[in-house]
Structure 1
Amino acid sequence: MSASQALRHRVPPWAVDAGLVALAVVDAWLNLFDEGTPLVWSCVAIGSAGLFLRRRFPLAVFLLTLPMTVFMDVAVAPIAALYTLATATRDRRLLVGCALLHAAAGTLAWPLPETFTGDRTWTLIQFVYTLATAIAPVLCGQLVQARHDVARQLTEVEEVREHERVLHAQTVLARERAQLAREMHDVVSHQVSLIAVQAGALQVASADPDTREAARTIRSLSVNTLDELRHMVTLLRASGGKETELAPQPTLADLQRLIANSGIETTLTGKLPPDISTTAQRTVYRTVQEALTNVRKHAPGATAEVRLWHDTDHYGVTIANTAPIRPAVSLPSSRQGLIGLQERAELLHGTLTAAPTPQGGYEVALRAPARPD
């Protein structure tokens, strides 16, 4: 804040107006001395006192100062009134007319007939001089008005930028939450569900009571963990958006390791084009991972086939499993796996289908265009 702004904030407006009224009276008194008539002093009183209302009625106050200008060479009252009017109005024609009116009133002499009997050249010079004097406060007032406009616009621009920063931060947060929910489901739930399935199998197969109890505890803790993860994923997805950027996770090169660690008898056939994007590779990987996780959870003992394929216009992956050979272990489900896969497919302008097969198994198929529009 500048020194002038600080001073303006410290001095109340009524004090400034009172000072202007006092200066206007002193200015008139110095011009009149003891020669003023009651009419003239009445004009001085009305024009000077009107400065108290200059902020509310700038045009009316300016007109009240014109009689003073006719009777004497005053400067404070008309200049203050012109300045206030210039800061309050955007009508340039009105300002020009007021400046001309002030110059005309300042050029007139009292009594009026003396104005037209004297040297007309000097009258014209005096008119031009008075007009230049009137233009100065008008220009200053317009500059102050422009400065206020610029300051207001800068404030509005800053508010818009702040609003945009808040929206951007919210968008980033929503994207991170959705991405975290997706990766939590795809990675953490994948591992915990495998632990639960293996612990359940150990509990059934072991003959040692201690081992069975330990396996039961592990399975119980895993189920509770999956249930907590389900709530966390639901909360994160509720506050996240759909269009999230996928993190640089696994690619097609990791499919063999994923299948080997899945705990399911799975065959991998076919291949994909070597030039597909890393986003597409991650989507294929996550589709296979989610499908195999569902096979472990809902189709114990089933075998699976992962088939990669591509043609001129499309590519994709199909994961099909046989019917289960024993009852499935009851595990909590977040119901977000296929939703996440559908979102990933949409990012590739593709489609994801999931449906039971006539043989009692299940099939998940991803299909995406090779050159998305």
Structure 2
Amino acid sequence: MTAAAPAPLRLDPADQAWMKDPATRAVMDALEAARPGASRYVGGCIRNALLGKPVADVDIATRLLPEQVIEAARAAGLKPVPTGLRHGTISIISDGRPFEVTTLRRDVETDGRRALVAFTQDWNEDARRRDFRLNALYADRNGTIFDPTGGLADLDPCRFVFVGSAENRIREDYLRTLRLFRFEAWYGAGAPDREGVEAAARLKQGLHALSAERVWSELKKLLAAPDPGPAIAVMAEHGILSEILGVNGNLRILGGIINQDISAGLEPDPLLRFAALVGGGPERIRIMAAKLKMSNAESQRLQGAVDPSLCGEVEAAFTDMAAAERAIMSLGARAFEDQVRLSAAGDVAPPPRDWTLLAKFAREWQQPDFPVSGGDLILLGYEPGPMLGDAMDALKAHWIAERFEPTREELIARLKH
């Protein structure tokens, strides 16, 4: 008697909030009405559901052509947006949220950055063009899992294995090197796939073919993982980090910041972690910011975190709250907190005062209003211009040094003398 084949793995829609969400069901209903059985959930939503992780984005793969997806959405009263029409992707807006619906496809030509695709009706062809086996999982609306590439074998322990040849997948899109380490940082358990890491190391120069914006976006996502330290360490060991940044990074200080986040229950801060990783002063940060095309706000935040002008005051703040106030007034609360955390993370011995107390002090500190205005100086005979500005700066520095205690009258009297 032949043994019965094992039942296919299945996600129970009743247990998956994202599957029973009315917005999701409305999209799938529209696609099913156009062609029953032609559409499946795919990628990260299936991966995260199987790993017990939150599902943020729901992507759908379909045998419907893009024009048919648009027609199906409109027929159901939903809004289609051709966000990636050339590559077969239509975003369907349901309950104000986008659901990416992409026609099954295969790569015709790739150049390491973008691909020319052709549409197909073959689920296996669509799976073979994806990056990792865990991202090539599909599920129908009833939750039955389809695994064309063997991704289920990568669930326990969780690791990210390229579909087919790791080298071929990376040559198709060099961003997959960074995606490998980003996924490992977020979900991986144990050592990453050796073949994938070795291929990434051999092809690391291909990262220069990517736009700076794409690289910076992936780095931020990687650094936002709860503990990206092990993944970053592998990147450093294989020269991938230095290929991107020009430096191999300070893993000790990065580890200190990560430990602070974990011990204090803080949300990961990718910018502060980046400052810890790259080290150096404002000039290095300016070079990094230009190289990665950071926003002005990001660049300014990072430069404040490494501004050396008040290093002494920041160090003194661990024993002297007056120094803390002076540093906050000069640097700003955000930069002061960043510098306190970086200083504590770099100390071999515990600092004299717990960094969490100084960070809390910075967040709660209310800056007093400087009691003297430019108009006061003009009444004293100063002409608007550089001399007035210099006088104001000197007066303010004195006021900060005296812990904001001098009154308006005392400051003006000092200026008169």
Instruction: Write 1 or 2 for the structure with the bigger share of helix.
Output: 1
Structure ranking higher on relative contact order (CA contacts 8 Å, 6+ apart): 1
- Kindly name which structure, 1 or 2, has the bigger radius of gyration based on alpha carbons: 1
Band of TM-score, shorter chain: under 0.3
Q: TM-score, normalised by structure 1?
A: 0.22
